[in-house]
């Protein structure tokens, strides 16, 4: 056994250490935010373990059956939702939760209430569970407006008011990507330690990318600018090489690749979904927040995504996000169409 190497492993930047370091830069902070994040991280570790067992659970007869306690075994997305709701409520730091799985916002009971609102998609891309494709959890954190009663308006804020956003991807490794408003950092779960270790410090997206990511199956229903942009990716007129198409169909995985390799991810509005398909609060906002923090940008076809003010908690919006120059091109196409 290599003791020197093992000793070196104790000097790693864990996510706990990272968050506490950040906290120490704000002498006025009471550690509430750090406690909330540690509960989110715990939820992600639990879901990661459950996702890794997903295929086996079927084999050994878990899903959909009744266990010893007489509880029915739950589908993964329902289980993940319960895990996060319980983890967030028990932190004692939240007052409103909005989950993709729940029709209504959850107002936390007064005895466990704190000053943060958390919006989340507990298991994004869950239709991909059975084929082993990467799936993930997405979250965003707001603070309630005036420290008073928790009201629904507290979560219906534009994305630019978010304090923090991130996602956890359950793929070939378990990756946690986080921004608290000063850059983006990526952590990878070391299963032997049960700790997230900083592996991608200060992620910056390339200014221009070689990849575009979109569901081309919807092409016949696209609007003009989207069709023109994709055409330009495939058949560039300026002699530059064509872009590669990469589309996984799991937003966390597609955005993660876009963040690291550059390029653009788009889910435009079309005739079938005139308001787009992705949800504003817990898909569009957190991913747009991360993109901007990493030096990219994000656009809805009308405005900067983070300026959008949602009217309903499950509102949808078109989205174009990724490398700065690529999104700039899309913005120019929309501006040209408006002129015309």
Q: What average pLDDT score do residues 155-183 get?
A: 96
Whether 328 shows a pLDDT value over 70: the answer reads yes
> Are the beta carbons of 205 and 322 closer than 8 angstroms?
yes
Write down the pLDDT at residue 339.
87
Residue spans of alpha helices (H) in the chain: 3-9, 15-24, 32-52, 54-59, 76-90, 224-234, 251-261, 285-293, 324-339
Tell me: pLDDT of 72 over 80: no
Residue 2, pLDDT score: 63
196, containing H or E segment: strand 195-200
pLDDT at 65: 55
| One-character DSSP codes across 243-295 | PEE---S-HHHHHHHHHHH--EEEE--BSS-TT-SEEIIIIIHHHHHHHHHTT
d(Cα 67, Cα 207) in Å, to the nearest integer?
A: 52
Q: Identify whether the C-beta of residue 297 lies closer than 8 Å to the C-beta of residue 340.
A: no
Query: Is pLDDT at 133 greater than 80 in this prediction?
Result: yes
pTM for this one?
0.93
* CA separation for the pair 177, 17 (Å, rounded): 15
Task: Give the pLDDT band of residue 8 (cuts 50, 70, 90).
Answer: low
Tens of pLDDT along 192-206? 999 999 999 999 999
For the chain, give the percent of residues with pLDDT over 90. 79
What average pLDDT does this structure show over 45-52?
Answer: 93
The percent helix, strand, coil of the chain (3-state, each to 5) is 40, 25, 35
- The CA-atom distances, in angstroms, between 70 and each of 58, 59, 62, 83 are 18, 20, 12, 19
Q: What is the pLDDT of residues 78-126, one digit of tens each?
A: 899 999 999 999 999 999 999 999 999 999 999 999 999 999 999 998 8
What average pLDDT score do residues 161-172 get?
A: 96
Contact partners, residue 187, CB within 8 Å, separation at least 6? 14, 15, 18, 175, 176, 177, 178, 196, 197, 198, 199, 200
Report the pLDDT value the prediction gives residue 129, as an integer from 0 to 100: 83
**pLDDT tens by residue, 244-295:** 999 999 999 999 999 999 999 999 999 999 999 999 999 999 999 999 999 9
Asked if 214 and 247 count as a contact pair (C-beta separation under 8 A), the reply is yes
pLDDT bucket at 69, cuts 50 / 70 / 90: very low
pLDDT at 62 over 60: no
Assign 68 a pLDDT band (cuts: 50, 70, 90): very low
Interatomic CA distance for residues 251 and 137, integer angstroms: 10
């Amino acid at each position: 056994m290599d003791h020197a190497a093992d000793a070196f492993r104790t000097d790693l930047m864990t996510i706990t250490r990272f968050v506490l370091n950040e906290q120490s830069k704000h002498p006025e902070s009471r550690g509430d935010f750090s406690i909330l994040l540690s509960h989110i991280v715990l939820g992600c570790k639990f879901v990661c373990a459950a996702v890794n067992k997903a295929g086996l659970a079927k084999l050994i007869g878990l899903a959909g059956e009744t266990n010893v306690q007489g509880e029915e075994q739950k589908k993964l997305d329902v289980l993940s939702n319960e895990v996060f709701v319980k983890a967030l409520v028990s932190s004692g730091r939240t007052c409103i939760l909005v989950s993709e799985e729940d029709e209504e916002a959850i107002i936390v009971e007064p005895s466990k209430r704190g000053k943060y609102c958390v919006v989340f998609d507990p298991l994004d891309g869950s239709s991909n569970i059975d084929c082993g494709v990467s799936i993930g959890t997405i979250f965003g954190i707001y603070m309630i407006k005036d420290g008073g009663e928790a009201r629904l308006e507290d979560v219906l804020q534009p994305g630019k008011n978010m304090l923090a956003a991130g996602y956890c991807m359950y793929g070939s490794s378990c990756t946690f990507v986080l921004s608290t408003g000063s850059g983006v950092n990526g952590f990878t779960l070391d299963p032997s330690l049960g700790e997230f270790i900083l592996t991608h410090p200060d992620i910056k997206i390339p200014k221009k990318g070689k990849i575009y990511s979109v569901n081309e199956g919807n092409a016949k229903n696209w609007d003009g600018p989207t069709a023109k942009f994709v055409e330009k990716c495939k058949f560039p007129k300026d002699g530059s090489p064509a872009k590669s198409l990469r589309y996984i169909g799991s937003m966390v995985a597609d955005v993660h690749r876009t963040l690291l390799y550059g390029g653009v991810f788009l889910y435009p509005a079309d005739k079938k979904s005139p308001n787009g398909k992705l949800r504003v609060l817990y898909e569009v906002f957190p991913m747009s927040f991360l993109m901007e923090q990493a030096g990219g940008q994000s656009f809805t076809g009308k405005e900067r995504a983070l300026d959008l003010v949602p009217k309903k908690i499950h509102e949808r919006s078109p989205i174009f996000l990724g490398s700065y120059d690529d999104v700039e091109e899309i913005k120019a196409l929309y501006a040209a169409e408006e002129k015309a």
